[in-house]
Amino acid sequence: FDCDSFARQSLYSLMDNLGELQEDHNPELVVEGIVINQFNSQARLPGELVAELEEEGYPVFDTYLTTSVKMKESHREHRPLIDMAPSHKLTGQFLDLHAELEKTRAKAAA
């Protein structure tokens, strides 16, 4: 979720489609969480949009991925961010998100 109104509308469409798939084909289909991407904590709108998603009952992961030029540089160089900038803030956020996903998956499996 890229923290803008367009992304929110796309998310609503995606969730509607997933609901139909769940009803028609896979009742065990579950959305584990929404990844907040391109988050700018200094701007008011991203925080408001995330809060609205949470108020509407959507599962939002606790780890947010912030905006960073390093990601664009990693794409340009065709190098994974973790190799190019292992100690960068965004790299740490990806690692935190991975740990959160693993924890969520372990709870679901138990």
For a pLDDT cut of 70, what percent of the chain falls above it?
100
Compute the distance between CA of residue 101 and CA of residue 42 in angstroms, rounded to an integer.
26
User: What's the confidence (pLDDT) of residue 56?
Assistant: 97
- pLDDT tens track for 53-87: 999 999 999 999 999 999 999 999 999 999 999 99
Q: Is the dihedral of CA 13, 18, 23, 25 positive or negative?
A: positive
User: What's the confidence (pLDDT) of residue 110?
Assistant: 83
Q: Is residue 33 packed enough to be buried (19+ CB in 10 Å), middle (13-18) or exposed (0-12)?
A: middle
Compute the distance between CA of residue 40 and CA of residue 32 in angstroms, rounded to an integer.
23
Q: Does the pLDDT value for residue 14 go beyond 90?
A: yes
User: What's the confidence (pLDDT) of residue 109?
Assistant: 85
